[in-house]
Amino acid sequence: MAQEQEPELQNFIYQKSSYRGKFTPQRLVFNANLQEFATRVAYVCNLQTLGKISAEDAYNQISDLWQQLKRSYLELGIDSDAEN
């Protein structure tokens, strides 16, 4: 019975929204990366709030996540895609 509930729990914990907007494969990938970023930032914030990590550590982790997201945006060419 626990296995039947597991996908529901996974959907609750790792919520994903469908992509809405002008479709390109790059934008779809970036949207997935953005959702992953938001989920990870929420985890880091919760860990810091619970006292499991320091504010400085939380800041550094979120900064690293932001740099990864920014790099993804640039590598996917989203900015140049918007101009076309």
Domain limits, the chain = 24-83
CA gap 80, 84 in Å, rounded: 7
Give me the mean pLDDT over the 2-26 stretch.
69
Q: Which long-range contacts (CB under 8 A, 24 or more apart) does 70-77 make?
A: 72/29, 72/30, 72/33, 73/30, 76/26, 76/27, 76/29, 76/30, 77/26
Give me the mean pLDDT over the 27-41 stretch.
93
Give me the mean pLDDT over the 23-48 stretch.
93
At 2, the pLDDT band (50, 70, 90 cuts) reads very low
- What is the per-residue pLDDT for 29? 92
Tell which residue, 18, 13, 10, 9, has the closest CA to residue 46.
13
- What is the per-residue pLDDT for 83? 52
pLDDT digits (tens, 9 = 90+) for 60-70: 999 999 999 99
Global pTM value: 0.74
Q: What angle do CA 62, 63, 64 make, to 5 degrees?
A: 90
